[in-house]
Structure 1
């Protein structure tokens, strides 16, 4: 599986879990807790494999200043979600009103980030990297994620 297909599939999994989390009520304490742990593990692994493998390959292949902008924006979105919003949500009481609001913010951030990657970065990566390199990157992403999860 190529890198773009692999990462897009990851996006679908996380988005579905975030959607389910956003649809829960304050009474669903156990389900919220389970979902949040799964989401955190998936996001941490996904972020790490993108930053270790995919983003460096994209940056190295980049030819324009727009490619650099995409790279740095994606890194900043990872930092915002992974270092600020997710840790805050993990420390929030799952049965609280604050949890619902923070879960929605995380969902919106991730959705925005995934859409940008899928509409801008991934099509550009297809042009820059080529089929063989994307397949090799896909294998590396899958192997590294298996190590992390």
Structure 2
């Protein structure tokens, strides 16, 4: 899987969870609690693979983006991902995506001692 495609899928997953949270209604406390736990797990794993694998590789492959700080998911997808895609190429992004997908399965998901969404 392409590394950028994987990160975009993560963004979509989190966006869907936020929509589920909003649609749950004001009295759906247990449901909202589970959704929040899922969001924390998803974002923790996502941040882990970005910080430990993607960003270092992207910075090495696209040195002009080294100082670039991402302000939002939208900025990341619209501005930075296309630069990285051009500079790294399809094969490298495929390799990187496979590495990230494997690491995501092993990534920490409990940054604050919050119970797992699957518990």
TM-score > 0.5 by shorter chain: yes
Work out which of the residue numbers 85, 97, 119 in structure 2 matches 1:126.
85
Could you say which residue in structure 2 is the equivalent of 1:68? 66
Q: Deviation digits for residues 55-94 of structure 1, max 9, x if unmatched? A: 1111112242xx1232xx12xx5xxxxxxxxxxxxxxxxx
Q: Normalized per residue, which structure has more helix?
A: 1
**Counterparts of 2:97 and 2:61 in 1: how far apart (Å)?**
16
Could you say which residue in structure 1 is the equivalent of 2:52? 52
**Counterparts of 1:52 and 1:27 in 2: how far apart (Å)?**
39
Q: Do the aligned partners of 2:62 and 2:88 also contact (CA within 8 Å) in 1?
A: no
Normalization by structure 2: what TM-score?
0.83
Aligned length: 108
User: Following TM superposition, by how much is the alpha carbon of 1:2 offset from its aligned partner in structure 2, in angstroms?
Assistant: 0.6
Normalization by structure 1: what TM-score?
0.68
**Counterparts of 2:22 and 2:51 in 1: how far apart (Å)?**
27
User: Following TM superposition, by how much is the alpha carbon of 1:140 offset from its aligned partner in structure 2, in angstroms?
Assistant: 0.6
| 1:27 match: secondary structure | coil
User: Following TM superposition, by how much is the alpha carbon of 1:24 offset from its aligned partner in structure 2, in angstroms?
Assistant: 3.3
**Counterparts of 1:139 and 1:147 in 2: how far apart (Å)?**
13
Which 10-residue stretch deviates more, 136-145 or 22-31? 22-31
Q: CA RMSD in A?
A: 1.4
**Counterparts of 2:63 and 2:103 in 1: how far apart (Å)?**
27
| 1:69 match: secondary structure | coil
Alignment of 1:1-149 (within 5 A): 1-64=1-64, 67-70=65-68, 73-74=69-70, 77=71, 113-148=72-107
